[in-house]
Chains A and B, each alone.
Chain A
Amino acid sequence: MTKILLIDKLDNCVERWKAAGITVIGPVHRANISVYAAVEHASEFDFGLVLPDRSIKELFFPQTEPMLRYAIKKDTIDTIECMPPSGPRIIFGSRACDASGMAIDDPLFGWDYKDTYWFQRRNESVIVTIACIKADDFCMCTSLNMEPDSTKGSDVLLRPLENGKGWLVEELTDRGQEAFTQIAEFLQESADAPAQTAVVEKKFDLEASVAWLQKPENFDSRFWKEISMRCIGCASCTYLCPTCHCFDIQDEGDTYSGVRRKNWDSCSFALFTMHTSGHNPRSTQSARWRQRIMHKFNYFPGKFSVNSCSGCGRCSRQCPVDMGITETLQEISKLSL
């Protein structure tokens, strides 16, 4: 006998959590795209999606957010910190890839200097992940040595029942347990069997690819020019990626008052690294695509012992010119044979 949560009871849970002041967030449709967003009722959720178009990242690291407000006065300058709206949140129905993506970026945002914007949100969020029972051609978690039911970064793991009526509940962390204690009366004991998790075939040889990337001579390989010929530098891959964390800092306002914002930025853009002098260390699209792949599978793991990719496949799924991590590492796997 194990604990289960029936879909029929989910609305009661949402009510209960909301009554406790918790914002409930999950996979929903908004203006032609699917995203993780706050809901009023459980009926808004769409658990049938393989995964939402946009990742969970923006719940912790929004596309744009005010960091500081400034007011310039005669003899002083006032700086007012803008912290994210505070309050507990439950992200219900994350995917394993999205949840692990957040855990992957924790060491980066905490690297000696702690980013308060990231960690306040991390601290106030419970991630409830639903194991995948279906996948599409772009899913590649298994290629990254993860599974559709991996628990990394999740506070609770739900396994869909075979009969489709609900989920088996596995509480993974104290905060996950606390969130589910609040809805304990809506849970029940059952012997229902969980459904088979999705089968995601391995798309590339990660170890061989990483070994190839680590060889210094391959930095100058012709491969980079060939693979990135198609890239139009639109940055869709980086924006949709759960682990891509690059940002820009921009001021909006005038000489007297305004706001300093942190905005998503992308290594796909030429301006990203351009010096004022005009010199650009990464002046070609191939240099920029090389940076993205090297960063994810060579530099980032060198510093934080984990690849900066959780296998969601959004980069390939949404790429307008049909390239992405999968296609690139498939080619590299071949090169390294």
Chain B
Amino acid sequence: MTENIYNTQPNIYKPAIMKIVARQDEAPGVRTMRLEFLDPVDHEYFKQTFRTGMFGLYGVYGEGESTFCVASPETRKEYIECTFRQSGRVTSALANADVGDLITFRGPYGNRFPIEEFYGKNLLFISGGIALPPTRSVIWSCLDQREKFGKVTIVYGARTVADLVYKHELEEWQERSDVELVLTVDPGGESPDWKNRIGFVPTVLEEAAPSPDNCIAVICGPPIMIKFTLISLKKLGFDERNVYTTLENRMKCGVGKCGRCNVGSVYVCKEGPVFTAAEVSCMPQADL
């Protein structure tokens, strides 16, 4: 009738198709999958846009889509790795998918960790349980350009030894001289041959007592761990503005329209998922 006054663009709800090229069981119910794009155009878009911290909507047609982080680093964009716990309808369908099967992916969406701002600084990564995957994307993004950063410390804890994810990579980090890895399991979660720490992450962190000087902390974990770890970091002298975390909420669209992932006025999908602890403390805590 008249000219197109609303500039439309390709369908934002149409996912890319990805092939599962490898998979690895990490812990009971937790699996990592390596995915490759079928369409080179989709891959090119991913290569141009993906930065560590961004997330995607992984899906199986007929079941739906589920939101989790891209667990692989921005320094390795030939594929996407994702790690998930089989817990709902979509993750069950993903868990049933085999190498060679096809799944869908929308993204990458959201903001990122400002890695350039971390250059020249010491890095402290703190993570709990199934929350290592988002942290791992940042860890490898930094380790792949190790010379640009100061001291790297990783504090990682899980409920039991079996629940630790990326066991092969933990071994690799433990052997590296340029990474200090502090591993812990909750009391009672140790196995007879466990040689690392026993205790909750905040306690172990305070014992390790990393210096807040010229240091950026990246923390990710269950809400209860985050809550007490923030208190410990404060005790150690960390400034809230130098502490980064990544939030997650239920999402459907991933692009700021479906209306459910906001915490107060902040949309986790558009303005997050990466926030500083200072930003999180300004959000209405009852909405977290």
Interface residues, chain B, with chain A CB atoms under 8 Å away: 1-2, 4-15, 17, 38, 61-65, 87-88, 91, 102, 104, 223, 249-250, 252-253, 255-265, 270, 284, 286-288
Give residues of chain A (83-142) contacting chain B, Cβ–Cβ below 8 Å: 88, 106, 108-116, 119-120, 122-124, 126
Give complex CA distance A71, B234 in Å.
53
Which residues of chain B are within 8 angstroms of A40 by Cβ–Cβ distance?
none
Point out the residue from B15, B249, B252 that lies within 8 Å of A275, measured CB to CB: B249
Q: Are B263 and A281 in contact (CB under 8 A)?
A: yes
18 A-B pairs with C-beta separation under 8 A: A76-B17, A112-B255, A112-B256, A114-B8, A114-B12, A116-B11, A116-B12, A123-B4, A178-B1, A246-B259, A248-B252, A253-B61, A255-B62, A273-B260, A275-B249, A291-B262, A291-B287, A295-B262
Q: Are B270 and A111 in contact (CB under 8 A)?
A: yes
Closest to B12 in A: A113
Which residues of chain B are within 8 angstroms of A109 by Cβ–Cβ distance?
257
Q: Are A115 and B252 in contact (CB under 8 A)?
A: no
Q: Mark A172-191, 1 if CB is under 8 A from B, else 0.
A: 00110011000000000000
Point out the residue from A123, A279, A287 that lies within 8 Å of B287, measured CB to CB: A287
Closest to B258 in A: A247
Give complex CA distance A174, B223 in Å.
54
Point out the residue from B17, B65, B258, B287 that lies within 8 Å of A246, measured CB to CB: B258
Interface pick from A48-56, A296-304, A319-327: A296-304
Closest to A105 in B: B257
Interface residues, chain A, with chain B CB atoms under 8 Å away: 22, 67-68, 70, 72, 76-77, 79, 81, 88, 106, 108-116, 119-120, 122-124, 126, 174-175, 178-179, 216, 219-220, 245-251, 253-255, 258, 260, 262, 265, 267, 272-277, 279, 281-282, 287, 291, 294-295, 298-299, 302-303
Q: Are A249 and B12 in contact (CB under 8 A)?
A: no
Point out the residue from A22, A81, A174, A299 that lies within 8 Å of B264, measured CB to CB: A299
Which residues of chain A are within 8 angstroms of B91 by Cβ–Cβ distance?
276
Q: Are A251 and B61 in contact (CB under 8 A)?
A: yes
Q: Are B284 and A216 in contact (CB under 8 A)?
A: yes
Point out the residue from A120, A246, A265, A281 that lies within 8 Å of B288, measured CB to CB: A281
Which residues of chain B are within 8 angstroms of A77 by Cβ–Cβ distance?
17, 61, 102, 104
Given contacts A276-B88, A302-B265, contact A174 B2 (CB under 8 A): yes
Q: Are A76 and B265 in contact (CB under 8 A)?
A: no
Q: Are B259 and A247 in contact (CB under 8 A)?
A: yes
Q: Are B286 and A108 in contact (CB under 8 A)?
A: no
Given contacts A67-B13, A247-B252, A260-B61, contact A277 B1 (CB under 8 A): no
Q: Are A76 and B38 in contact (CB under 8 A)?
A: yes
Point out the residue from B7, B64, B258, B263 that lies within 8 Å of A265, measured CB to CB: B258
Which residues of chain A are within 8 angstroms of B13 by Cβ–Cβ distance?
67-68, 249, 260, 262
Given contacts A119-B8, A253-B62, contact A112 B262 (CB under 8 A): no
Q: Are B259 and A267 in contact (CB under 8 A)?
A: yes
Give complex CA distance A255, B60 in Å.
9
Which residues of chain B are within 8 angstroms of A295 by Cβ–Cβ distance?
259, 262
Closest to B222 in A: A277
Given contacts A88-B1, A275-B250, contact A115 B287 (CB under 8 A): no
Which residues of chain A are within 8 angstroms of B64 by Cβ–Cβ distance?
249-251
Could you say which of A111, A119, A178, A251 has the most chain B C-beta atoms within 10 Å of its C-beta? A251
Which residues of chain A are within 8 angstroms of B88 by Cβ–Cβ distance?
276
Which residues of chain B are within 8 angstroms of A114 by Cβ–Cβ distance?
6-9, 12
Q: A111-B255, A178-B1 are in contact. List 13 more A-B contacts (CB 8 A).
A: A77-B17, A112-B255, A113-B255, A113-B257, A123-B6, A126-B1, A219-B264, A219-B286, A220-B284, A220-B286, A247-B257, A249-B64, A281-B263
Which 7 residue pairs across A and B have the least CB separation, nearest first?
Answer: A246-B259, A113-B255, A299-B265, A119-B6, A88-B1, A276-B88, A70-B61
Which residues of chain A are within 8 angstroms of B260 by Cβ–Cβ distance?
246, 265, 267, 272-273
Give complex CA distance A195, B108 in Å.
55
Q: How far is the CB of B65 from chain A (nearest CB, A)?
A: 7
Q: Are A303 and B1 in contact (CB under 8 A)?
A: no
Closest to B254 in A: A113
Which residues of chain A are within 8 angstroms of B287 by Cβ–Cβ distance?
219, 281-282, 287, 291
Which residues of chain A are within 8 angstroms of B11 by Cβ–Cβ distance?
67-68, 81, 116
Q: Are A124 and B1 in contact (CB under 8 A)?
A: yes
Q: How far is the CB of A103 from chain B (nearest CB, A)?
A: 12
Q: Are B61 and A72 in contact (CB under 8 A)?
A: yes
Which residues of chain B are within 8 angstroms of A248 by Cβ–Cβ distance?
252, 258
Give complex CA distance A281, B283 in Å.
13
Q: How far is the CB of B145 from chain A (nearest CB, A)?
A: 29
Which residues of chain A are within 8 angstroms of B8 by Cβ–Cβ distance?
114, 116, 119-120, 123
Q: How far is the CB of A54 from chain B (nearest CB, A)?
A: 20
Give complex CA distance A254, B62 in Å.
5
Given contacts A112-B270, A114-B7, contact A276 B87 (CB under 8 A): yes
Which residues of chain A are within 8 angstroms of B264 by Cβ–Cβ distance?
219, 294, 299
Q: Are B2 and A178 in contact (CB under 8 A)?
A: yes
Which residues of chain A are within 8 angstroms of B61 by Cβ–Cβ distance?
70, 72, 77, 251, 253, 258, 260
Which residues of chain B are within 8 angstroms of A255 by Cβ–Cβ distance?
62
